[in-house]
Amino acid sequence: MSEKFEALKAREERLLCRTYGRYPLSVVEAQGARLTDIDGREYIDLLGGIAVANLGHCNEELAQLIERQARKLIHVSNLFYQEEQLNMAEALLATLHLDKVFFCNSGAEANEAAIKLARRYTQKVKGREAGDIITLEGAFHGRTLATVAATGQARFTDGFAPIPQGFVKVAWGDLDAMRAAISPRTAAVLVEVIQGEGGIRPMSPEYAQGIEALCREHDLVLICDEVQSGMGRTGKYWGFQHMGIKPDIVSAAKALANGLPLGAMMASEEVARGFVAGSHATTFGGGALLTAIGAKVLEIMKRDKIVERTAQVGGRFMDKLRALSERQPGKIREIRGHGLMIGVELAFPAKPVWEELLARGFVLNLTHETVLRLLPPLIINEADLDMFVIALEEILGAHQA
Ligand SMILES: *Cc1c(COP(=O)(O)O)cnc(C)c1O
């Protein structure tokens, strides 16, 4: 590590709360799918700011819009009508079957809004005294107290008691367990159809449809957390569109404004009746600057056929990874995902492989000790993905299992 980098590290140690286990890398500039570090070294970005920079880092069209909009209207609060919100809402709702949007600032807040709406709809519109939400093992729904309760993993709740009640966790893939967990107190089921932090685990269409059928049978609100799997990441606008289901509420965030903090909760006309003026609110959510960018992101996606491209490029990339896996038997346990949301599960602890990839200039994430998680900007060149496959093959080839 350079002296410059060490100095930065020491400064951070002094100044910031110790919440992050950082990568040994300080990024000072980013363009498209390339990052530049403090010592001027370039990296291929296979993380995209954790599924955020879908249209590439510092996208020129968005940069120009930010500059224009910053001189026109940034924030006046949700006490006012703002056309920017409506433009974005229209573009967003055109991507799925839902009718209404609530804008907020993050994924956790989008899930908070979803939980509040599902409960309020059940209690005030349906007149049923129920508020429990069923969630799945391995889930990740955010870091607020309610969303860590929904996430239900000890490492996220440790030391934060009392944790909010009303969340019931069931095993992944087990419809009988979900059926058994439903009680008169159950209001909703909250799932990621492709678990992200959980190691890129996609549901089978049959499983997703089974969950939907249980919700319909017991009159429960079905919420899909699409914070990571949404916005074209999987080769469709939303992950649930691979599964043939129609959730009542969808939460989104990460890629909505390509790097600026914007979240959205979308609901059906019926379920949206649960909110009335004053039920829920936020100061910043959906401000004019953010939603102007969000509308532009959706316009670019449509114009440049980003979703279709993601399906094609992601499909070819996954084929190449599968071919690699066959050439290197015993090294890769499984390749999972859709589009450019891909998990490569190794048959052994992946940290040394991840470190070697970083040393060779590839930035990606490691989850669950063994899973290389790939979430590159959707505009990444196929040549960059090919270079990754070659590097991974060399590293795996040298590894003694
Ligand atoms: C990242 C993520 C969240 C939390 O989003 P924040 O913006 O960090 O609050 C929630 N759900 C899923 C599936 C995520 O990937």
Q: For residue 66, is it left (φ>0), alpha (ψ between -120 and 50) or beta?
A: alpha
Q: Please, are residues 376 and 387 in contact by the beta-carbon 8 Å criterion? A: no
DSSP letters along 203-246, please? PPHHHHHHHHHHHHHTT-EEEEE-TTTTTTTTSSSSGGGGTT--
pLDDT 10s digits, 88-124 = 999 999 999 999 999 999 999 999 999 999 999 999 9
The dihedral formed by the CA atoms of 69, 72, 78 and 81, expressed in degrees to the nearest 10:
-110
Instruction: State the average pLDDT over residues 346-371.
Output: 96
Report the separation in Å between the CA atom of 107 and the middle of ligand 1, taken as the mean of its atom positions: 4
- Is the minimum distance from the CB of 226 to ligand 1 under 6 angstroms? no
The pLDDT score that the predictor gives to residue 401 is 58
Report the separation in Å between the CA atom of 253 and the middle of ligand 1, taken as the mean of its atom positions: 7
**Cα separation of 195 and 304, whole Å?**
27
Report the separation in Å between the CA atom of 180 and the middle of ligand 1, taken as the mean of its atom positions: 28
- Is the minimum distance from the CB of 195 to ligand 1 under 6 angstroms? no
What atom of ligand 1 comes closest to residue 50's alpha carbon? 1
**Cα separation of 88 and 345, whole Å?**
37
Length reported for the chain: 401
Q: Which of 140, 231, 238 to mutate to test the pocket of ligand 1 (most atoms within 8 A of CB)?
A: 140
pLDDT 10s digits, 339-355 = 999 999 999 999 999 99
Q: Which helix (H) or strand (E) holds 323?
A: helix 306-327
Report the separation in Å between the CA atom of 263 and the middle of ligand 1, taken as the mean of its atom positions: 10
The pLDDT score that the predictor gives to residue 65 is 98
Q: Is the pLDDT score of 173 beyond 90?
A: yes
Taking the alpha carbons at both ends of the chain, their separation in whole angstroms is: 29
Report the separation in Å between the CA atom of 146 and the middle of ligand 1, taken as the mean of its atom positions: 13
Report the separation in Å between the CA atom of 264 and the middle of ligand 1, taken as the mean of its atom positions: 12
Residue with tokens 């949404």: 230
Q: Is the pLDDT score of 364 beyond 90?
A: yes
Q: Is the pLDDT score of 165 beyond 80?
A: yes
Instruction: State the average pLDDT over residues 61-78.
Output: 98
> Whole-prediction pTM value?
0.97
- Is the minimum distance from the CB of 380 to ligand 1 under 6 angstroms? no
**Cα separation of 318 and 135, whole Å?**
29
Please enumerate in sequence order all residues whose Cβ is within 8 A of that of 20, keeping only pairs 6 or more positions apart, or say none: none
Beta strands in 99-212 (DSSP E): 100-104, 132-136, 167-170, 186-191, 194-195, 201-202
Give nearest CA residue, ligand 1 atom 6.
Answer: 107
- Is the minimum distance from the CB of 259 to ligand 1 under 6 angstroms? no
